[in-house]
Amino acid sequence: MKQLQCSGGMMLAVGLLGLMACPLQSAADFNLKLSIVVKSASGYVEPENGKFAVTSQPTSFTVQVHNNSKLPQQIFTDQVSGVLSKLRFELTDARGENRLVSKKTPLGARTVWGTRSLAPGEMLAGDVLITPEEWDNVIVVPPGEVRQFTVRAVYENGSETVYSDRYEVTIAPPAAPAATADEP
């Protein structure tokens, strides 16, 4: 029997007897809310209509975690990078193929975990730079090509797994300028 974590510490069991589901929950039932946001002159804003474009690679995302509960929440972070621990991104391409982009752990390196308390209603934002050198399964789109994906952030915080909404992302690095031939 396989067990999957539901919000609030409840378990979802999958086995010979079928599927035992978690009770239906609204976003308000979760302690933490995760979102991918875009930096603007006025601060952080949600992508318009859940869509955003990436025109350069490596790709930088800003991820927010917001405490929705009435109690302080402990957030697990990587002490070296300051990034949320166990943060990853799920990408689905136009063919429906899924890819999990997760932080690499260099051979022999140790991750130093720390915690930070978020007060009720408090938000923490962190910039994440997605490079093939530091993240597994990164998609590199050649200049001049356009690829579309659905992406969501996934954050494991202790026994709670938090998912962002799904966003539509268009990755379109500009084409390299055409070379001009030297005239004699």
Distances (CA, A) of 148 to 52, 69, 95, 172: 10, 34, 10, 9
Cα–Cα distance, 7 to 5 (Å, whole number): 7
Total number of domains in the chain: 2
> Which pLDDT score is estimated for 111?
64
Same domain, 95 and 59: yes
Same domain, 68 and 9: no
> Per-10-residue mean pLDDT for the chain, 184 residues long?
40 36 43 84 78 83 90 80 78 93 76 82 88 90 92 87 92 76 58
> Which pLDDT score is estimated for 165?
94
Domain-located, residue 130: yes
> Which pLDDT score is estimated for 66?
92
Q: Concatenated DSSP letters for 42-92?
A: TEEEPPGGGEEEE-SSSEEEEEEEEE-SSS-EEEEEETTT-PBTTEEEEEE
> Which pLDDT score is estimated for 74?
87
Range of the domain at 10: 1-25
> Which pLDDT score is estimated for 12?
36
Domain-located, residue 83: yes
Domain CATH for 159: 2.60.40.2970
Domain-located, residue 181: no
Same domain, 7 and 80: no
> Which pLDDT score is estimated for 146?
92
> Which pLDDT score is estimated for 9?
40
Q: Give this prediction's pTM.
A: 0.73
Same domain, 78 and 146: yes
> Which pLDDT score is estimated for 128?
86
> Which pLDDT score is estimated for 83?
63
> Which pLDDT score is estimated for 184?
56
Same domain, 7 and 85: no
Same domain, 12 and 55: no
Domain-located, residue 146: yes
Domain-located, residue 116: yes
